[in-house]
Structure 1
Amino acid sequence: MVEVVRYEWTLKRILHICTGLLAFYLCYVGYRNLKSVLPIYTDQLLWDTELAQLDQWMFGGVNPAYIFQDLFGVGFSAVLLSFVYLAYLPLVPISVGVVLVVCRDLSVGAWYATAISLNWVMGVLSYYALPAVGPIYYQPQYYAALPETGTSSLQAALWENRTEFLADPVTADVIHGVAAFASLHCSVTFAMALFAHKTIQSAVLRWAAWAFFGLTFLATLYFGWHYLVDSIAGVFIGWLCVTLGQWATRNRRMRRPTGHERSAVTSERVTTVSTVGPS
């Protein structure tokens, strides 16, 4: 076991893991800080009226809140989608740590850490480019039929923080967290699913990643966090971040190996590990 640890956990690998986690942390903290002061610079430039009109036009003249509530109901669906939406919060940093630790190929771990970190950068740029608060805050009457869930509690807390922050931006000790365009939930979960599709051999994990993205996309619209164009823009940002991360870490020809190739790699690893053990 000592020999395997010595072979697997080199100083270089440990430094790569720490660098990836640090990059993720710094980008996220920068994103939170810039998002927190967003109303100071953009509150007179909100695009909610135009985005709401576009939303209604895209759904054939009907407010999308009615469509989703009629289609999925306001019972079990609300509970399930709330669980999925909130699961995003711990899942993202955990996934970064897992990928960095598990991947023997350091460039693949770097690819994922880079892609997720870029989502924060691209996301905060989109907040300033097209500021909006989202349907739940612009037209809350359309979501009054939804039951009390963890998501609705989060929405209320965020709006309370926003109100307190706007009352005195200089001395307020709360973090402002309201922004609609683009959807970072959609961008990050799409990036996770696309990365899994490109790198993971397990079909179960790939499908689970795509299912999680699909439910998250639906939850952003169902609860009124985002307009449809916000979520679509989030998908584009997610794709762009994965593509840039792939290019930056030189994983340009990444593909999942075939069954024969996986067997060959496994045999090679077993042989290599056995050679470093005691004879």
Structure 2
Amino acid sequence: MTPTWVRVVRWPYTFLVAFSVLVGIFTISTSASLDLPLRDPEGFLGPAYVRLPMLGVLFIAGGVLVQALVQNRSVRGLFSRAVTIVRTEWTWGRLAHAATGLICFYVCYVCYRNLKSFLPVIREDVLYDADLLKLDHWLFFGHYPGLLLHDLLGTGASGFVLSTVYTSYLMLVPVSLAAVLVLNRNLSLGAWYATALSLNWILGVASYYLLPTLGPVFANPSLFYDLPADSGVASLQEYLADNGYEVRHDPWSSDAIYGIAGFASLHVSVVLTACLFFRRIGLNRWLMNVLWVYFACTVLATIYFGWHYVVDDLGGAAIAWASVAIGALVTGNRGYRRRRGQLGRGDAEVGATTDDATTDDATT
């Protein structure tokens, strides 16, 4: 019989659980030392203790219905097939894995938002925007990259398209994580993706403290006056600016969460993390191409709207690569792409190993 400590070490969620606990303790300690309250970044579904279970149930129910529909490609008997899937496939172990991934991800996200909100207090008014503006200007031979994109793409319809791409990121993260946790039977892959996304939040907030910036649109708004004033991005920037002013004025009495930081770009890091992860697990080529186009548009949007400097996007790319690599290592998925390729060529031995690993994950 396998010793308990070996099973714990082999469990794909061991690192993520320990990591989220440590990050949570650090955030609570920081909050106490600064005498600043911890805040839940509220959503339209209410507080976290309501929102998180509700989202989990909705995602699982949606996944089961999709699977039931795919089985027979008919709505007739859909409910009975869904009940059968729940009874035969959704064991308590599988539910526990999905819940662990969602909870740890959310803990890291809430910690990220609060640590980011502490930034004006801890780093005070130390900002490097002037240096990065000069660097952008030098890299593009005396031009600002945002203005070059305005001239190249225009500031009309393209602005609304890129705005839609940029703001849709807010749904991409939880939906893509839920899809992997719910629809994939290899539970270690869900742990890998949840770990990679969680690492994005914490590595990202660490980069904010390493090189504090506001971003071009907040440091030099005159460069972006020609952009549409009624787009989703414009509304978001106005909201962040108002909250930023309120927090900087008096962070101890404000109920707002500070949300302005340039380096590194977490839009770039998270979307690239999704691209790298889904490429390594073998996502359909057509869907993969769509995801790469989405990533390219996201990069353009970060510069076009002045959210980030060029070096911010490069920093985001580095965080994405590190997050996917570390996530693969700590969840036992290092070399997964190679093993998948061998399995695809009909290697019976590798196939047995992969199946055994999946079974272990499901019964841990």
TM-score, normalised to structure 2's length? 0.70
**Corresponding letter in the other structure for 2:162:** L
CA RMSD of aligned residues (A): 1.8
Q: 2:137 matched to 1:65?
A: no
Aligned residues: 264
Kept in 1: contact 2:263–2:312 (CA 8 A)? yes
Corresponding residue for residue 96 of structure 2: 15
What SS does structure 1 have at the residue aligned with 2:336?
coil
Match of 2:292 among 180, 197, 210: 210
Aligned identity (percent) is 48
Residue 260 of structure 1, CA deviation:
6.2
Kept in 2: contact 1:51–1:227 (CA 8 A)? yes
TM-score, normalised to structure 1's length? 0.90
* More deviation, 116-125/6-15: 6-15
| Counterpart-to-counterpart distance in 2, 1:253 and 1:65 | 39
Corresponding residue for residue 95 of structure 1: 176
Kept in 2: contact 1:196–1:205 (CA 8 A)? no
- Structure of greater relative contact order (alpha carbons < 8 Å, 6+ residues apart): 1
| Counterpart-to-counterpart distance in 1, 2:121 and 2:85 | 54
Q: 2:204 matched to 1:113?
A: no
Unaligned runs of 5+ in 1: 270-279
Residue 109 of structure 1, CA deviation:
0.7
Match of 2:252 among 170, 178, 186: 170
Corresponding residue for residue 240 of structure 2: 158
Residue 259 of structure 1, CA deviation:
6.1
Match of 1:75 among 137, 156, 160: 156
**Corresponding letter in the other structure for 2:294:** F
* More deviation, 221-230/146-155: 146-155
Residue 253 of structure 1, CA deviation:
1.7
| Counterpart-to-counterpart distance in 2, 1:57 and 1:35 | 29
Corresponding residue for residue 193 of structure 1: 275
Residue 194 of structure 1, CA deviation:
0.6
**Corresponding letter in the other structure for 2:140:** F
Corresponding residue for residue 315 of structure 2: 233
| Counterpart-to-counterpart distance in 2, 1:177 and 1:36 | 6
Residue 159 of structure 1, CA deviation:
0.5
| Counterpart-to-counterpart distance in 2, 1:205 and 1:92 | 16
**Corresponding letter in the other structure for 1:197:** R
**Corresponding letter in the other structure for 1:93:** P
Q: 2:266 matched to 1:184?
A: yes
Kept in 1: contact 2:147–2:304 (CA 8 A)? no
**Corresponding letter in the other structure for 1:91:** L
| Counterpart-to-counterpart distance in 1, 2:92 and 2:296 | 39
| Counterpart-to-counterpart distance in 1, 2:283 and 2:107 | 31
Unaligned runs of 5+ in 2: 1-80, 356-364
**Corresponding letter in the other structure for 2:278:** A
| Counterpart-to-counterpart distance in 2, 1:85 and 1:139 | 20
